[in-house]
A and B are shown apart, each in its own frame.
Chain A
Amino acid sequence: MVNKRRTYLMIWVIFAVICLFLFLKYASPKVFQILMAKGHPMPTPSTLMMWYMIMGVLAGLVYATTSNQKFVDFLSFLLPDRGPVIKSLLQKVLFVSFPVLVGWFVYSWSLPGAASPVELRIQHPTLPQNYEKLENPFRHEDAETQRLCIEEGKILFQTYCRPCHGSKADGNGPFANAFRLRPINFQDPGTIATVVDNYLFWRIKEGAPGLPSESTPWDSAMPSWKDDLKDDEIWKIIMGEYDTAGVMPRQREKLE
């Protein structure tokens, strides 16, 4: 043998995996706290942690099999030889810790615990048919009337919608923290900018009770405003809302 044998390869791989675990568990919350300028650590979520650990183990195995010699070295750590004391000690530790680790996994999996269920929901269900044909009555007004409508809508928005959706329509109103289903951030290009304005008319008028069950209406705090606001007021709010959020409604495709 001319090549130097890397008899401790297996230990190095295990060491790297442990380092990865320690980084994810203790270092990364601090790193992300600094990177994202938060006032609190950002712990790695458990599902993500599991995936990173699986990937770490796989990466270690991939590395150990990049050449035949490495793979042989990797496995030969487990073979008996008259190596230094440290090697036989590490071998013993490894022999004991594997079954213990298996036992620990089984223990932690079968502990009765109650994690909150994953509550998936569809944010943009299909617009009901009776709302499809509606049109903003102020759409064809002259610019000055439209400006007044926007201004009136903004006043209504700041009065009735602001407590949850925020002064900037960013979903950060003073009540927003209290709702587990957070009020929607209208500045987000994935929200009101992707729908036609009738969609908003439907949402404001019918609120949570009007949602289909795939959109978890039981968790949504969106009120149904049909008893408290007139249709004209709702249209004005929509105009003011788009203006406040700084986005445009999706334009309807011509059907002809």
Chain B
Amino acid sequence: MIKAFKKGLIGFGLLGVCAAGISGIAAVEEAQASHLFRTYKRETPPKPPETPEAIAEGKKIYEKRCWYCHGIEGGGDGPAARTMFPKPRNFTRNEYKVRSTTFGSVPTDEDLFRIITSGIEGTAMPFWYTISEKERWQVLYYLKTFNNQFKESGAAKMVSLGGGIPSSPESIQRGKELFKETKCFECHGEDGRGNGPLTVALQTEWDMPYRARDLTKSWLFKGGNTIEDIYRTVSTGFNETPMGSYLEKLSDEDRWHIAHYVKSISKDMTSDVVIKATLLETEELPTDTSDENWSKAAVIEIPLSGQIIASPRLWTPSVDALRIRALYNEDEIAFLLEWDDSTNRQEDVFRDSVSVQFPTKIPDSLKKPYFAMGDSGGAVNLWVWKAYWGEGFGSVIEAPETEPGEAYELNAKSFNKISRQPPESQNITGTGVYQNGRWSVVIKRPLKTDDAKNDIQFEVGRLIPIAFAVWDGSNSDVGSQKSVSSWYYVNLEKQVPKTIFAYVLVAIIMGASVELWFIARLRRFPPKEEE
């Protein structure tokens, strides 16, 4: 009997190995997909001599891989540059940003090597650790020939970037004070969302390409987001930008304090596929964006990209993430949508807006309408909220901080088949607040409506496809030129039924009886070794 039992076990074991192998493959893919953003590599290997041959080799590599964006003459004006913002580096000027050298000097070879190796987050510059170290050195020797300053200035003046003090609540507090005293907020904004008055003026009145970094988004730090990287950026500044060097203005210790403060406000994206709508047992769902009930709902942040499906496309989106919370009660569902926007200024047709998209009915299978505005096989229901637009056609206006805006429902079957629902079918309400570089918008609708053909009807416990779009008026977003997301799901969370405890009780009693039976049997017929 024992032998047969053993054989069975081995068979099971083999089956288990195969199954684990298959799910192992799936697991690796799952893990990679969750790895949204890359990390920086710091170390640089010893460099080969900078000979004319090495430069000639570098030219070949440059003209195979780099010139499409950086231009054949290194002017940052390659043919592909037009679908990019931020623009590619112009090597003929000294506009190098990530350096360990003093403000206005050219970077060291190691600085360049590191950027070529790791790329620059939030820009089109990819990581090139895929080519050999030798090739990376050669190509950087070549791109140095575009700018004479590399030759003339001789050895670059390095900034000593040693030491460092550990992060502590006191250090962060001191950094916060310094952030005020040194007027960092004038560009980066009081909450660090890149919405300072100087940035807004440069962007809207001077039309300059400078955008102060949104310090709350750790994935957009050009020079890297480790504490050493932030400290280096504060110390050396970014050449040819309003971001100056604070090497002389602040003591070494104070620069660490600021770096610790910046690090403390920068957050990673916490993304998920299912947005959980929490049940709120109140009469009314909050219409106020600052209502404390919102803290009961889980926050999900999802990445957005430019709309590139249909012409006209948006190659240079300015909104790259949307934070979502959802609440529901017996009658209604409400979404709180938040995104960072450095300005709420807008022009005539270009208005800050957000939209939520659902299929017109919950799909029974995996099949959904097309994620970008539906298709002929499946229509979508869109809820749009648009910021205020008053008088002053053609001029730059500033939306008031709190405003009802305009909320309306659409149906679409493609980018050119969009229809606004008639007034009697409009069921949503929306309000928005712009504060400290962030739009917060609440959109509400009853769970069920009379127009079941064109409106999504919510059901508790189901996975309902949902997608989003955001328009930034100051980026001239309008119509199909918007930031978009893929399909996600929203789930109106089912409450834990009371019957679950009965099940658990039954399970425990059954488990205990099986156990008692087994032990009783074992004790009556104690196992004996077969001789």
> Residues of A at under 8 Å CB distance from B?
32, 38-40, 42-45, 47-48, 51-52, 54-55, 58-59, 61-62, 65, 68-69, 71-72, 75-76, 78-80, 95, 98-103, 105-107, 110-112, 114-117, 119, 154-155, 158-160, 162-164, 166-168, 170, 172-175, 177-182, 207-209, 213, 216-219, 221, 223, 227-228
> Main SS of chain B's interface residues?
mixed
For residue B151, CB closer than 8 A to chain A, the reply is no
Q: 4 more A-B contacts (CB under 8 A) besides A114-B493, A117-B366, A177-B36?
A: A103-B507, A112-B493, A167-B124, A174-B122
Inter-chain contact A68/B126, CB cutoff 8 Å: no
Inter-chain contact B368/A48, CB cutoff 8 Å: no
Per the 8 Å Cβ criterion, residues 294-315 of B in contact with A are: 303-306, 308-311, 313, 315
Q: A45-B23, A51-B23, A167-B124 are contacts. A99–B69 as well, Cβ < 8 Å? A: no
Inter-chain contact B496/A166, CB cutoff 8 Å: no
CB-CB nearest 8 A-B residue pairs: A102-B511, A178-B305, A39-B39, A158-B80, A112-B494, A99-B511, A175-B305, A158-B68
Picked from B27, B126, B274, the residue with its CB within 8 Å of the CB of A47 is B27
For residue B371, CB closer than 8 A to chain A, the reply is yes
As a 0/1 sequence over residues 520 to 531 of chain B, the CB contacts with chain A under 8 angstroms (1 = contact) are 001100111110
Chain A residue nearest to B506 (CB atoms) is: A106
Q: A51-B16, A78-B522, A158-B80 are contacts. A167–B367 as well, Cβ < 8 Å? A: no
For residue B206, CB closer than 8 A to chain A, the reply is no
Per the 8 Å Cβ criterion, residues 67-82 of B in contact with A are: 68-69, 78-80, 82
Q: State the interface size on chain B (CB cutoff 8 A).
A: 93
- Sample 22 A-B pairs with CB under 8 A, ordered by A number: A42-B31, A47-B27, A51-B19, A55-B13, A55-B17, A58-B13, A62-B9, A78-B522, A98-B515, A106-B503, A107-B504, A112-B496, A114-B489, A154-B68, A162-B68, A168-B65, A174-B122, A178-B320, A180-B273, A221-B371, A223-B310, A228-B311
As a 0/1 sequence over residues 18 to 57 of chain B, the CB contacts with chain A under 8 angstroms (1 = contact) are 0110011011001101011111000000000000000000
Inter-chain contact A218/B369, CB cutoff 8 Å: yes
Inter-chain contact B9/A65, CB cutoff 8 Å: yes
> Residues of B at under 8 Å CB distance from A?
2, 5-6, 9-10, 12-13, 16-17, 19-20, 23-24, 26-27, 30-31, 33, 35-39, 65, 68-69, 78-80, 82-83, 122-124, 126, 130, 273-274, 276, 303-306, 308-311, 313, 315, 320, 366-372, 375, 378, 461, 463, 484-489, 491, 493-497, 500, 503-505, 507-512, 515, 518-519, 522-523, 526-530
Picked from B9, B38, B310, B491, the residue with its CB within 8 Å of the CB of A61 is B9
Complex: how many Å from CA A41 to CA B2?
A: 43
> Main SS of chain A's interface residues?
helix
Complex: how many Å from CA A209 to CA B309?
A: 10
A-chain residues with CB within 8 Å of residue B484 when the two chains form the complex: 178
Chain A residue nearest to B507 (CB atoms) is: A106
Picked from B2, B65, B488, the residue with its CB within 8 Å of the CB of A65 is B2
Inter-chain contact A62/B39, CB cutoff 8 Å: no
Smallest distance from the beta carbon of B525 to chain A beta carbons, Å? 10
Smallest distance from the beta carbon of B197 to chain A beta carbons, Å? 29
Inter-chain contact B507/A179, CB cutoff 8 Å: no
Inter-chain contact B24/A48, CB cutoff 8 Å: yes
Smallest distance from the beta carbon of A1 to chain B beta carbons, Å? 10
Complex: how many Å from CA A107 to CA B502?
A: 10
Complex: how many Å from CA A173 to CA B124?
A: 7
Q: A79-B526, A228-B311 are contacts. A68–B13 as well, Cβ < 8 Å? A: no
Complex: how many Å from CA A216 to CA B519?
A: 53
A-chain residues with CB within 8 Å of residue B366 when the two chains form the complex: 117, 119, 216
Complex: how many Å from CA A71 to CA B82?
A: 73
Inter-chain contact A163/B489, CB cutoff 8 Å: no
Complex: how many Å from CA A182 to CA B493?
A: 28
Inter-chain contact A167/B68, CB cutoff 8 Å: yes
Inter-chain contact A209/B375, CB cutoff 8 Å: yes
Inter-chain contact A68/B529, CB cutoff 8 Å: yes
Complex: how many Å from CA A227 to CA B69?
A: 25
Complex: how many Å from CA A161 to CA B173?
A: 45
A-chain residues with CB within 8 Å of residue B515 when the two chains form the complex: 95, 98-99
A-chain residues with CB within 8 Å of residue B487 when the two chains form the complex: 180, 218-219
A-chain residues with CB within 8 Å of residue B69 when the two chains form the complex: 158, 167
B-chain residues with CB within 8 Å of residue A180 when the two chains form the complex: 33, 273, 486-488
Inter-chain contact A117/B463, CB cutoff 8 Å: yes
Smallest distance from the beta carbon of A205 to chain B beta carbons, Å? 14
Inter-chain contact A167/B65, CB cutoff 8 Å: yes
Picked from A42, A76, A158, A227, the residue with its CB within 8 Å of the CB of B79 is A158
Inter-chain contact A221/B308, CB cutoff 8 Å: yes
Inter-chain contact B6/A48, CB cutoff 8 Å: no
Chain B residue nearest to A98 (CB atoms) is: B515
A-chain residues with CB within 8 Å of residue B26 when the two chains form the complex: 45, 47
Complex: how many Å from CA A44 to CA B23?
A: 11
Smallest distance from the beta carbon of A110 to chain B beta carbons, Å? 5
Complex: how many Å from CA A219 to CA B371?
A: 6
Inter-chain contact A58/B30, CB cutoff 8 Å: no
Inter-chain contact A111/B500, CB cutoff 8 Å: yes
Complex: how many Å from CA A249 to CA B146?
A: 37
Complex: how many Å from CA A217 to CA B486?
A: 12
Smallest distance from the beta carbon of B44 to chain A beta carbons, Å? 16
B-chain residues with CB within 8 Å of residue A52 when the two chains form the complex: 20
Inter-chain contact B9/A58, CB cutoff 8 Å: yes
Complex: how many Å from CA A77 to CA B19?
A: 32
B-chain residues with CB within 8 Å of residue A78 when the two chains form the complex: 518-519, 522-523
Complex: how many Å from CA A79 to CA B527?
A: 10
Q: A76-B527, A158-B80 are contacts. A54–B27 as well, Cβ < 8 Å? A: no
Complex: how many Å from CA A166 to CA B491?
A: 34
Complex: how many Å from CA A71 to CA B12?
A: 18
Chain A residue nearest to B486 (CB atoms) is: A180
Inter-chain contact B20/A178, CB cutoff 8 Å: no
Chain A residue nearest to B16 (CB atoms) is: A55
